[in-house]
Structure 1
Amino acid sequence: MTSSGPQFGGLPIVGFPPRGKRTYRDHLSVDADPEALPAAGAVAWKLHVLDKYAATEHEQFPDYFARFLDTVDTARVTALSIGTWGHDDGTSAETVVTLLCAAADRFPRLTHLFFGDIVSEEQEISWIRLADLTPLLNRFTRLEELAVRGGGARLGPVRHERLRRLRFESGGLPGDVVRGIGLGEYPALEHLELWLGVDEYGGDATVDDLAGILAGTGLPALRHLGLMNSIIQDEIAEAIAGAAVTARLDVLDLSMGVLGDQGAEALLTGQPLGHLTKLWIHHHFIGERMAERLKASLGSSGVVVDMSEAEEPWDDDEDEDGRYVEVSE
């Protein structure tokens, strides 16, 4: 085992071996040798069952998880990644959340949790159906990082004392999740990244839904804010330009969305952004002249501005705008 591959929580990702033989191997993890498992605290354990229709043997997630608990000293586990849980056999994300929460006392050192570590070869991001993730934050009080990938997530307002990084990767993030974060209290949260997505896949968040986050009342330590992959990126930029939280950010990430000249103008004429260390706007629809103005203005203050991946709108008679986000389905 080497540390040159994918990592999570500062540790190499290694899958707890599922029963059966897969017809392919994903590129994010390597399954441990069943005869020589690594030390429990030396890796980020990835839990993933095999596809019901693409394996020589099928083990449902509840049985697989029970075997993991019986095999690995989970009291030493600090990082856990939840991959495929068996959507093809009817196992739901709710089941996985329930199992994790019931076993929370078995993970006293868990600080990093990735829910939905599923690559596109296994399932497209918006086909990953999530659940109410609020119980995870309520039960795992030592978490420092929660990463989530998929659609249909729910998250209510919570107070979490230790969480430092929160990331939602989605082709469509519900407005309820965005509001829930803004109404919660995260005194230690430094890094917040939300892929907002499009209506077609449940991304119905509005600028009004972002009000709590942009006010920053429950996010006193926030320094990195990513409001990304959005179809309303111009409106978000306009809101950022006058938001209270903006003045204390080091990094602002508005990438992956449909940011155009309107949003760029708002960034130029709103509150000063010269205190930022980085502004990320890769994958955008800003014109060349406006892009040069933005880079010159902020670059003169020492801000690193990433405006790579300038896109061209689709030529589509059914879509007058033609702009598109980087990740949807």
Structure 2
Amino acid sequence: MTIGHHLEELYGLPAFAFPGPGAKAELPEPDAVAWRVAGDVYDADEEWVDAFARFLDTVDTTRVRALLVGAWTDAYETDSSAAISALLAARDRLPALRALFLGDLVMEEAELSWIQQTDVTPLLTGFPELAEFGVRGGTGLEFPALEHTALRKLVVETGGLPMEVVRGVGGSTLPALEHLELWLGDSMYGADTTVSDLEPILSGTRLPALRHLGLRNSEIQDEIAVAVAAAPVVDRLETLDLSMGTLGDEGAAALLAGRPLTHLNFLDLHHHYITEPLQQRLRETLEPAGVRLDLDEDDADSYENEDGTVQRFVAIGE
């Protein structure tokens, strides 16, 4: 599985690609769409900062509510620092901005684990009224702990999430955060998070408003499920997402034996390695209580090593 399509919406607004230089297109109202500003990764005729400068000069940015940062030149070896600096320099021209996604790139532009990132928290401190923030790409990604009182949704999509990022998120004070989604990834692509690194998130102490928790795309999905099954934060969740990883019978059994999940609206376990008997137990336990359950095996695949061990794969590594 790879990321083959750009985001279609942000902040509840449909995505609209800001036209390239010389292109003629009727532009929507500034506050009616999530604007994608992008250049080309390869042999770019226009750098991202120049495309953004045209955007600032063309659109009434005082009304822009959502912004998608698309491809920048050589994103596989050049990080997002220039885009971040340009955004921060223009913050006075974006007073209505409430949602920002950094790195809306697809596989043809750069595979997930090739996207070069940096410390992204200056965007949060620079835009204190942001309600939604997302970032794609874990290479070079940094997220030191911070305080942000307005943020309601945080999404970090990676093929390998560094533990320091998880610790930074867990150490942050985010009293308004309702939706947290972390793609933890594969150790081959930099994932080194352990269950103990997730403890501050699972305790929920710094996340009093959390209603959706996604710990996805992980090669230690069983261990995470075991920890989640006993986590205090679960009691106040409406949706729980442990999809896209290597979840098997050990994790499924722990979820069934742990804190009750019958209060959930939705439990997403798609792309899993759970055997049919455990799948049936999950259905019989949760569906009568009204829990929507996704047990689609998706493209989950595995193979047996020469020593008899079974190798499982996360949905997106590279």
Task: Provide the TM-score with structure 1 as the length reference.
Answer: 0.89
Superposed displacement of residue 116, structure 1: 0.6
The answer on 1:283 being equivalent to 2:282 is: no
Alignment of 1:1-329 (within 5 A): 6-19=8-21, 34=24, 36-53=26-43, 58-87=45-74, 91-152=78-139, 153-309=141-297, 311-317=300-306, 320-329=309-318
Separation in structure 2 between the aligned mates of residue 265 and residue 11 of structure 1, nearest angstrom: 39
Decide whether the 8 Å contact of 2:77 with 2:116 is kept in 1: no
- How large is the Cα RMSD of the aligned pairs? 2.0
Superposed displacement of residue 280, structure 1: 0.9
Aligned to 1:29: none
Superposed displacement of residue 50, structure 1: 2.3
Instruction: Provide closer, same or farther for how the CA distance between residues 88 and 151 of structure 1 changes in structure 2, counting only shifts above 3 A.
Output: closer
Superposed displacement of residue 142, structure 1: 1.3
Identity %: 50
Aligned to 1:24: none
Separation in structure 1 between the aligned mates of residue 308 and residue 28 of structure 2, nearest angstrom: 52
Structure 1: gaps spanning 5 or more residues? 21-32
2:276 counterpart letter in structure 1: E
Aligned to 1:28: none
Decide whether the 8 Å contact of 1:86 with 1:92 is kept in 2: no
Instruction: Provide closer, same or farther for how the CA distance between residues 91 and 306 of structure 1 changes in structure 2, counting only shifts above 3 A.
Output: closer
Decide whether the 8 Å contact of 1:52 with 1:89 is kept in 2: no
How many positions carry a matched residue from both structures? 310
Decide whether the 8 Å contact of 1:278 with 1:303 is kept in 2: yes
Superposed displacement of residue 269, structure 1: 1.2
| CA deviation vs aligned residue, 1:252-301 (integer Å, no higher than 9, x gap) | 11110001111111111112212111111011111111111122122232
Aligned to 1:25: none
2:160 counterpart letter in structure 1: G
Separation in structure 2 between the aligned mates of residue 156 and residue 88 of structure 1, nearest angstrom: 22
Superposed displacement of residue 133, structure 1: 0.6
Separation in structure 2 between the aligned mates of residue 90 and residue 120 of structure 1, nearest angstrom: 15
1:268 counterpart letter in structure 2: L
2:176 counterpart letter in structure 1: A
Superposed displacement of residue 48, structure 1: 0.6
Superposed displacement of residue 319, structure 1: 8.2
1:6 counterpart letter in structure 2: E
Q: Which has the higher contact order (CA 8 A, sep 6+)?
A: 2
Separation in structure 2 between the aligned mates of residue 318 and residue 196 of structure 1, nearest angstrom: 27
| CA deviation vs aligned residue, 1:164-211 (integer Å, no higher than 9, x gap) | 111111111111111111111111111111110011111111111101
Superposed displacement of residue 71, structure 1: 2.0
1:260 counterpart letter in structure 2: G
| CA deviation vs aligned residue, 1:126-185 (integer Å, no higher than 9, x gap) | 111111111011011111111211122211111111111111111111111111111111
Superposed displacement of residue 73, structure 1: 1.5
1:171 counterpart letter in structure 2: G
SS at match of 2:271: coil
2:18 counterpart letter in structure 1: F
Separation in structure 2 between the aligned mates of residue 207 and residue 315 of structure 1, nearest angstrom: 26
Runs of 4+ with >6 A deviation:
none
